[in-house]
Structure 1
Amino acid sequence: MTRSRWSAADVPGQKGRVAVITGANTGVGFETAKVLAARGASVVLAIRDADRGKQAADRITADVPGADVRVQRLDLASLTSIRAAAGELRAAHSRIDLLINNAGVMYVPRQLTEDGFELQFGTNHLGHFAFTGLLLDLMADVPGSRVVTVSSAAHRQSGDLDFHDLDWSRGDYNRTAAYGRSKLANLMFTYELQRRLSGRNGTMAVAAHPGGSDTGGSRASVSRQSPLFRAAFAVVRPLLIQPAEMGALPTLRAATDPAVQGGQYYGPHGLAESRGYPKVVKSSARSHDLAAQRRLWSASEELTGVTFPV
């Protein structure tokens, strides 16, 4: 298999490694977990609904006999749940090799998390920020450990982060822009985390995006759009959407390819990065704004109460 067509077959052996994956009961997260389990990793499915997590674990072990798959309840819309989950993981594991921040909500009407944050920003960014910060010291001295955060091509459609109104409490709520901002925040977090990790025993922060993947979340997001949008999307869908197994490849490559470098961003190589095999892609100029990255980091620490050991 050539590197231009990097696939699940290129994932190196993961025996002895611990991988924690958020939102891994379905879609891209599930496919990521299944491949890592098949390569020998001990996989933790960090999921809001424990029953669905158990069903996902059973599906993986049915496909991969002998797979080491466990379920950890985690609600990223609750700082209490995040702290509890991190505490339970710390009690169960002395090290974590891979933390894959995959879970997310997409294009939902304005809602608030348990702690009063706008739901998409609170879950997709703040929840993962806090979860990573509470686990990072289990990774910092583990050679080859990586934090992989899943963003989206939608980060380009977000506009600037409004640091005076991160919760969209003023003006009309735009769920599409709110989602894009949360995905922009994922990238800014990755780049700032990598800068802080530089020189620390090889631990890296990397980002990925799945392109247009056929998942329950993507189908639900389309169903929320106007009839005209849905009709137009049905026409172009074959050009833009790929199976979840393909959508998982950028995450898998970011997590396991020995050639990966910290601060890289992986996505599909095809038209508009919507489908195809994974490669290094570029994010928006806005995502590389150093001052905004640092301001977001400080705001995230203040909002979550979580500080990082870097």
Structure 2
Amino acid sequence: MDNKTVLITGSTQGLGRHIALDLAAKGASLLLHGRDRGRLDQVAADVRAVSPGAPVRTYLADLADLGQVRAMAARVLDAEARLDVLVNNAAIGFGTDHTRREVSRQGHELRFAVNYLAPRLLTRELLPLLTASAPARVINVASAGQAPLDFGDVTLEHGYGGEDAYCRSKLAMIMSTFDLAAELPADRVTVNAVHPAHLMDTRGVRESGLTPAVGIDEGVRPTVRLITDPALATVTGKYFDQFTESPAHEQAYEATARARLAALTRDLLA
């Protein structure tokens, strides 16, 4: 990873923080994103403590506000000479109250906004820099928890449930992964999605009322593999369950559903 620049969203805790520490030890230049300045400065200090001299720069933004997503992308484009890897890791889980529907700054259902719209927008905004840095990679941290979108009520204005909202947002991310991969030459920019591990010991899992099943390291290894493995240099448009290429939910392969999601997304991001 020497001379490779990697942007990791949601890097102040959990999987994102551990990926940052792993990549710093491999020689990567890191662009760390978070929404809390204190925690962002702390993870940057942690990286430097583990890997003295590691190039680290930080970007502050709340992904629940698409305006801040656009502003962060503009800062990256202005400040960075290259971007070899984008890891869309930041996400919101089911929530402590699974019955409480929350909304983003723009009024979108919060999980759909943070887990899908924000990484979709960030990737599109940074695509010129990724393409200029080719070969480059986009890794979308998805989930085995996937639920089909109901295009009559995509963002669950009726019968809300936090688990369903989360699973819908992750399937939307995978559907967008497939679409973007089909647009881009595989020898220039690859786009893949990964379920890193089942119920890792993260704050999001615990706050959702779930019992962690594995340590965070179980999710680091398959995610870092997608970032670094030369054998995956031109592999694109895939969904991986940890190390294994696997089928996503069947709706992800429905052209009509993907087209409807793309049209909705254009409207929401306009």
* TM-score, length of structure 2 as denominator length: 0.93
2:191 is the alignment partner of 1:205: yes
Alignment of 1:16-95 (within 5 A): 16-95=3-82
8 Å Cα contact 1:265-1:280 kept in structure 2: yes
Q: Which residue pairs with 2:142 in the alignment?
A: 151
Q: Which residue pairs with 2:149 in the alignment?
A: 161
Offset of residue 94 of structure 1: 2.5
Q: Map Cα deviations across residues 21-78 of structure 1 (whole Å, 9 max, x no partner).
A: 1001111111111111111111111111121111111111111121112210121110
Q: Which residue pairs with 2:265 in the alignment?
A: 300
Alignment of 1:116-195 (within 5 A): 116-155=107-146, 158=147, 160-169=148-157, 171-195=158-182
Give the Cα–Cα distance (whole angstroms) in 2 for the partners of residues 244 and 57 of structure 1.
Answer: 19
Give the Cα–Cα distance (whole angstroms) in 2 for the partners of residues 288 and 69 of structure 1.
Answer: 38
Give the Cα–Cα distance (whole angstroms) in 2 for the partners of residues 267 and 70 of structure 1.
Answer: 30
Structure 1: give runs of 5+ residues left out of the alignment: 1-13, 224-232, 269-277, 306-310
Letter in 2 for 1:259: A
SS class of match (1:266): strand
Match among 175, 183, 203 for residue 196 of structure 1: 183
Q: Which residue pairs with 2:204 in the alignment?
A: 217
RMSD (CA atoms): 1.5
Larger Rg: 1
Offset of residue 267 of structure 1: 2.5
Give the Cα–Cα distance (whole angstroms) in 1 for the partners of residues 216 and 85 of structure 2.
Answer: 20
Give the Cα–Cα distance (whole angstroms) in 1 for the partners of residues 61 and 223 of structure 2.
Answer: 20
Runs of 4+ aligned residues of structure 1 deviating over 6 Å after TM superposition are: none
8 Å Cα contact 1:118-1:168 kept in structure 2: yes
Offset of residue 250 of structure 1: 1.9
2:238 is the alignment partner of 1:264: yes
Alignment length (residue pairs) = 263
Q: Which residue pairs with 1:5 in the alignment?
A: none
SS class of match (1:248): helix
Letter in 2 for 1:44: L
Q: Map Cα deviations across residues 225-273 of structure 1 (whole Å, 9 max, x no partner).
A: xxxxxxxx5xxx6xxx2211221122111122111210122233xxxxx
8 Å Cα contact 2:65-2:105 kept in structure 1: yes
In structure 2, the CA distance between the partners of 1:25 and 1:208, relative to structure 1 (3 Å rule), is same
Percent of residue pairs bearing the same amino acid type: 35
Q: Which residue pairs with 1:226 in the alignment?
A: none
* TM-score, length of structure 1 as denominator length: 0.81
Give the Cα–Cα distance (whole angstroms) in 2 for the partners of residues 48 and 75 of structure 1.
Answer: 5
Letter in 1 for 2:42: Q
Give the Cα–Cα distance (whole angstroms) in 2 for the partners of residues 97 and 66 of structure 1.
Answer: 20
Structure 2: give runs of 5+ residues left out of the alignment: none
8 Å Cα contact 1:254-1:266 kept in structure 2: no
Offset of residue 294 of structure 1: 2.2
8 Å Cα contact 1:207-1:254 kept in structure 2: no
Offset of residue 289 of structure 1: 1.5
Match among 255, 269, 290 for residue 227 of structure 2: 255
